[in-house]
A = this chain, B = another copy of it.
């Protein structure tokens, strides 16, 4: 089809997505296993069931390379036709790992996305520069904290937000467990918290941003964005693996607000964290991406964290960089180490350990802010 008109031939590298999998297999079986993987992730049928010459030439995925990794494991590279994605985020994920997620001998490691596909999705609409402009923070990492525990009423959450904003925190986000529960319904909570942050900003002259947690299917997300915008909200938090990556891509396209992506449920499917939290969330439009920092509550290694940052920020098809947000059991004492590891282009997120200070929340938050600004409290 594409090749029918001379002069409009699409370069071969733009027509295929290269996906790399780690496959557990005996040496004698790996060729057949790799071929089965290619069929599973494209036509989902035996080759004998495919007789259309165009489908055979342009749609069936191909085994591109097989490289021994650890003993009993191989890295298998499969070429998947771009046209099978229909340029939908969920469908791209489906073609990369939909059925194969049900096979426990295979994990999805990485993917090469053609430039034209990247351009079609568009990536972060704000990214690092947009979030810096919004918060007016330059030359240092941003600071962030979380509103929790869920179960508190809107006024209680607003009170915590006011304290954090007055202490100079740059971004106050909802705990991702905050949805639309009876204890703090979405609209009431968002209005109360945004008002508190606005009041604090009026006192301090800072530009603290509140990012409420949006949950539900896209119809609900869209309604909640409208409620949030009306309340003056300037950033939103979503968990793309819960709400669907299609919702992330649509929010990026039409939401008009920077998107902070939460990793909830991203670990359930054996997809390498740098790929899903870094590369794919960025492709679909996350402006900042939260991930578990090494040495915290989650067993992500320093190498994994570095790879997430690389996937989020390295030059890539002209897409804006996604701001890395290391989190998960961080403390003020760890700020120096995080600055060393992540440099300036990061948002450091400390939640529970600030809140554990209770009556000293303001002071603890000030310590956090001062540590990141590189001066004493």
Using a CB–CB distance below 8 Å, which chain A residues touch chain B? 1, 36, 40, 42-46, 48-52, 54-55, 58-60, 81, 83-86, 88, 90-91, 93-95, 97-99, 101-105, 146, 148-152, 156, 175-177, 179-183, 215-220, 222, 239, 241-247, 249-250, 263-271, 292, 297-300, 351-353, 355-356, 358
**Residue of A1, A44, A81, A95 with most partner-chain B CB within 10 A:** A44
Contact of A94 among B43, B156, B176 (CB under 8 A): B176
- Identical copies of this chain, number: 2
Residues of B within 8 A of A48 (CB): 356, 358
Contact of A98 among B45, B218, B242, B297 (CB under 8 A): B242
Residues of B within 8 A of A265 (CB): 93-94, 97-98, 101, 269
Q: List 16 A-B contacts (CB under 8 A).
A: A43-B150, A44-B352, A46-B352, A46-B356, A49-B353, A55-B149, A59-B150, A83-B151, A83-B181, A85-B181, A86-B215, A90-B239, A90-B243, A94-B239, A102-B267, A244-B247
Contact of A218 among B45, B105, B219, B353 (CB under 8 A): B219
Find out whether the CB atom of A149 lies under 8 angstroms from the CB atom of B52: yes
User: CA–CA, A55 to B160, complex, Å?
Assistant: 15
Find out whether the CB atom of A267 lies under 8 angstroms from the CB atom of B264: no
